[in-house]
Structure 1
């Protein structure tokens, strides 16, 4: 038979309290009544009665406090993760790839610094699937938890740059703080981007090289046949044809060089340069190196750069290629304007972030608006004949765009027909660069 709530009004007052505290309160109440009665009957002095009550209170309440502290400690141990130990954390931290240790329910026990950088939403004690929303990851995680077997998944990450990742979920027995073992899940992430980049680079190189080299190779083959046949004994024709063959061979060499440079940049596109580089001497080096071309085209290069260093996080050789391509294009295609202005300024982006802008402005014929969106495509030319006559490969601006993407920068193109064009390379200025 079930027991009803206490009918005694005195006991009902203490019924919501914990058992030990309720028992202590009842004892103190009874002691207070008894001592009060003795004082009223003059059997006990008030001070002695108070001293006796205090002794009884201490005897009744101290065991309850001790029991409460022990119970609280046991409760904390019961809810604490049994595998959250320094040794386990040290092992996860020592894994070079991003690694996350999960309990059997999929909650995060520990993650290393690489994993925190890869997935900033991961939090200790929270379910990993809330932070890792990629469908391939969630599916593999659920299967691994349900079957306690190894699961693999590959996925494509688009933010902040394109990356191909492989996830391996391995069930591992982990020693607990109580002497046993607990089955956990170790998630490790491997960056497959370099391998994919190599595969794409190989395929793109073969496709692009076979397409673009076909024309100069056909020209070389035709001139060789001519020199071996009708022009065999014609010194003037031989001299003319050899000059054309030299031009075509130079064009092929430059094309191959641009293709290789573009492939190398794409291969490391997911790795942002972190070396601080002063762009001022790079701009001066490029303008000095292109001075002979400027004199040949009768163009004056006006340079406006500060005397103090202006640093960005970047790769020096790649920055050289950017400025070489932009200034050389301005000298070749904007030569009719008579001058090219190269300027450097510190500005603020639309996101209110500080950035460095290097602007190359020419005063040539300009570019029609319909061509502007496609200028950075591979082998895209506004005027094919003029571009090849100038020795262009159609890869210069594409290379500039990819280098700027790797530096987390951007390329701005402005042009009005018959009023020249302006190409601006924008680089984010990091905190360390501003501090320097």
Structure 2
């Protein structure tokens, strides 16, 4: 693009003011190829002292530099992608480059639109579909294989028929649990922006959940010990969803804590809860199991993530329980904290604000 020679004009001042008014990061490049203006979001993205510098020294990525050069040369709009890594997270921006020519004034405006969340959501959907397909394909393949065998070679074998039907029953129930958890997760996500307003008595919920899980604990010879849940403590919440949270966590503690052990459920009330900066109820659910290696803890609430896939499936786990817990607590503006060390058991803490 060939620009006429000129002095600083009102047009340049106007472009600078317009850039400042834009919510997206906007950079304006003058005809001498230096950055004429950059609004606050752009300076935060690149450099506070970027104005006045040649654009090549600030916008260093070759794809973006080629696009800018083409707009300067051809006076035609262009689009590009800008990628950076910040705090171990890959950020992706769609970049719109547009020439501006008005009488004796010319420049190029560059707007950056953050598409990171859109791309991450798309990747999450693809991963989710792949995970669901894998989780359902395994039991479905087993069931179809046993049906084929029962219709063929084992049609008259009573012992094989009973053994295969038992396995088919287990696999079918597993598929049913997966579908049930998927539906539950979908319902929670659909309500994630609507905070519940009903009052829920947390100690009463804990006592009810412990009573319902007592038979499960007895099968494992696990002793459930409840502390601090004698009185009534009310918080805004959804009774059924909070029941699901404590059921999932206490049942996990029973299953993975090991036989002949204890599970401690301790409820405390904090006037100032450090993680919430407000008053809150905290429920700690501790087991005496093998513990969880530190590298697994940040991923425990991911859908279908398992520390030990084989053991989890053998115990009837779907890989969705902690994901459901996390989404329910997010809806309640609560927190889930996980502390664990190999060989020292695990503690899952639920924190719910009073207001």
TM band (smaller chain): 0.5 to 0.7
CA, structure 1 residues 133+400, in 2 after alignment: closer, same or farther (shift >3 Å)? farther
Q: CA deviation at 1:349?
A: 2.1
Q: CA deviation at 1:344?
A: 0.8
Going by fraction, where is strand more abundant, 1 or 2? 2
* Mapped contact 1:209–1:256 kept (Cα < 8 A): no
Pick aligned residue for 2:222 from 299, 322, 337: 299
1:348-388 Cα offsets, whole Å, 9 max, x none, are: 32253111111110001111111111111100000010000
- 1:409 is matched with which residue? 334
CA, structure 1 residues 306+324, in 2 after alignment: closer, same or farther (shift >3 Å)? closer
CA, structure 1 residues 203+370, in 2 after alignment: closer, same or farther (shift >3 Å)? closer
- 2:62 is matched with which residue? none
Alignment partners' CA distance in 2, 1:291 and 1:133: 60
Pick aligned residue for 2:280 from 336, 355, 358: 355
Equivalent position SS for 1:342 = strand
Q: CA deviation at 1:338?
A: 0.9
1:75-95 Cα offsets, whole Å, 9 max, x none, are: xxxxxxxxxxxxxxxxxxxxx
Alignment partners' CA distance in 1, 2:278 and 2:205: 24
- 2:351 is matched with which residue? 426
* Mapped contact 2:128–2:303 kept (Cα < 8 A): no
Q: CA deviation at 1:343?
A: 1.3
Unaligned runs of 5+ in 1: 1-129, 137-198, 431-436
- 1:268 is matched with which residue? 191
1:300-334 Cα offsets, whole Å, 9 max, x none, are: 11111332211111101100110010001001011
- 1:281 is matched with which residue? 204
Pick aligned residue for 1:214 from 137, 150, 163: 137
Give the aligned length.
238
Q: Would you say 1:242 and 2:165 are equivalent positions?
A: yes
Q: Would you say 1:364 and 2:289 are equivalent positions?
A: yes
Alignment partners' CA distance in 2, 1:388 and 1:134: 48
Q: Would you say 1:376 and 2:301 are equivalent positions?
A: yes
Going by fraction, where is helix more abundant, 1 or 2? 1
CA, structure 1 residues 225+304, in 2 after alignment: closer, same or farther (shift >3 Å)? same
Q: Rg bigger for which structure?
A: 1
* Mapped contact 2:221–2:260 kept (Cα < 8 A): no
* Mapped contact 1:343–1:360 kept (Cα < 8 A): yes
1:236-267 Cα offsets, whole Å, 9 max, x none, are: 11111111111101111110010011111111
Alignment partners' CA distance in 2, 1:264 and 1:203: 20
1:7-56 Cα offsets, whole Å, 9 max, x none, are: xxxxxxxxxxxxxxxxxxxxxxxxxxxxxxxxxxxxxxxxxxxxxxxxxx
Pick aligned residue for 1:225 from 138, 148, 154: 148
- 2:313 is matched with which residue? 388
TM-score for both structures, normalised by structure 2: 0.63
Equivalences for residues 23-38 of structure 1 within 5 A: none
* Mapped contact 2:177–2:318 kept (Cα < 8 A): yes
Alignment partners' CA distance in 2, 1:236 and 1:134: 71
- 1:338 is matched with which residue? 261
Equivalent position SS for 2:337 = strand
- 1:88 is matched with which residue? none
- 1:74 is matched with which residue? none
* Mapped contact 1:269–1:405 kept (Cα < 8 A): yes
Question: Where has structure 1 moved over 4 Å in runs of 4 or more?
Answer: 132-136, 199-208
Quote the RMSD (CA, aligned, Å).
2.4
